[in-house]
């Protein structure tokens, strides 16, 4: 069990409540079960009471889409939570209604922390394509909290021979890396859908990472975090696999499909669609240059064709790399 005051490890086996039974939630549940932990799954469609799932849980792990986080947080506030519980968020998105000029976007961890100020909130993010992990293929991820002792607990709970877990103290950077790369993945899917080649793809990935670092450090994250698993690692995985839903969005648009047609065929949520709109709104308010993300936004809103988006990027004013 965990200590009420300092959340210390007293036992190597945990009671883990996982909220969300989508692909990622069920994959994490399977990993935790194989490691010998007691796992309780819950979703709004499960028919079980949330109270029965989270009662006395050492860890509550949220893997719900961004659009459902606020509702789940509010429901959790009506349930008695053990004082020793650690929250983990595995959601990658920006809150749709965030975006005033004086307020940073509300990330999932910020929503959880505001609701449960006396509990630690850990961010889980990395290059984790759930279908590959389901097949037992090796993968790595990052768990982040300013208190590394807390991150160590989650690392111990989720590590396995096929799933390597690293810790990081920069929760903001880890969360932003996993969130913002979804926007670039849409651009990469478009590039591949248009068959523009490896050179163009490499340029988009590199300049996309520069955009992520530019706005991420403006918001207070450490630049080096974005070169790790939750930044560059997640970007490479998402931009090189048709398993990525955000990549599929861009690819489908490049094939002449409408956004609604593409989204109808996806198994799950492409978080990059909403993230792009929130990101562009905030970047504009803060006068931060995000040319790739801007073209993705225009493309998603049907204001530009995929070919015109590429042309707009290629014809930008010449400038030094940086």
Q: Which residues are catalytic?
A: 181
Are 190 and 104 within 8 A, CB to CB? no
- Written as six digits, the tokens of 96 are 């749709």
Are 122 and 88 within 8 A, CB to CB? yes
Phi/psi of residue 182, nearest 5 degrees: -65, -30
Torsion region of 121: left, alpha or beta (phi above 0 gives left; psi -120 to 50 gives alpha) = beta
The alpha carbon of residue 58 and the mean position of all alpha carbons in its chain are separated, in whole angstroms, by 23
Give the span between the Cα atoms of 103 and 57, in whole angstroms.
33
Interacting residues of 135 by C-beta distance below 8 A, sequence separation 6+:
none
Q: Could you give the C-alpha distances from 199 to 71, 181, 191, 203, 296, in angstroms and in order?
A: 43, 19, 10, 6, 19
User: Greatest CA separation found in the chain?
Assistant: 60
Interacting residues of 314 by C-beta distance below 8 A, sequence separation 6+:
none
Of 275, 265, 291, 285, give the one whose Cα is nearest residue 238: 275
- What is the sign, positive or negative, of the torsion defined by CA atoms of 96, 316, 178, 189? positive
- Written as six digits, the tokens of 229 are 């698993």
DSSP tally for the chain: helices H, then strands E: 14, 7
The alpha carbon of residue 297 and the mean position of all alpha carbons in its chain are separated, in whole angstroms, by 19
Are 165 and 59 within 8 A, CB to CB? no
């Amino acid at each position: 069990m965990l200590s009420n005051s300092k959340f210390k490890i007293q036992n190597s086996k945990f009671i883990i409540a996982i909220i969300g039974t989508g692909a990622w939630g069920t994959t994490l549940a399977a990993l935790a079960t194989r490691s010998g932990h007691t796992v309780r799954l819950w979703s709004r469609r499960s028919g079980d009471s949330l109270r029965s799932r989270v009662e006395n849980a050492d860890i509550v792990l949220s893997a719900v889409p961004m659009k459902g986080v606020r509702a789940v947080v509010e429901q959790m506030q009506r349930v008695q939570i053990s004082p020793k519980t650690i929250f983990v968020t595995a959601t990658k998105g920006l809150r749709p209604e965030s975006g005033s000029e004086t307020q940073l976007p509300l990330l999932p961890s910020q929503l959880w922390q505001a609701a449960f100020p006396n509990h630690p909130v850990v961010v889980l993010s990395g290059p984790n394509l759930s279908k590959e992990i389901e097949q037992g293929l090796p993968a790595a991820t990052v768990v982040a909290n300013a208190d590394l002792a807390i991150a160590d607990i989650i690392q111990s709970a989720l590590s396995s021979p096929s799933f390597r877990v690293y810790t990081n103290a920069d929760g903001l950077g880890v969360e932003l890396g996993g969130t913002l790369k979804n926007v670039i993945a849409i651009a990469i899917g478009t590039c591949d859908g248009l068959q523009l080649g490896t050179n163009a793809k490499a340029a988009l990935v590199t300049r996309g990472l520069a955009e992520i670092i530019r706005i991420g450090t403006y918001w207070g994250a450490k630049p080096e975090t974005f070169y790790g698993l939750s930044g560059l690692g997640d970007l490479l995985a998402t931009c090189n696999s048709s398993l990525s839903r955000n990549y599929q969005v861009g690819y489908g648009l490049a094939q002449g499909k409408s956004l609604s047609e593409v989204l109808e065929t996806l198994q799950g949520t492409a978080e990059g669609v909403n993230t792009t709109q929130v990101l562009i709104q905030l970047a504009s308010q803060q006068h931060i240059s995000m040319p790739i993300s801007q073209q993705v936004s225009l493309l998603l809103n049907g204001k530009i064709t995929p070919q015109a988006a590429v042309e707009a990027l290629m014809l930008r004013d010449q400038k030094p790399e940086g």
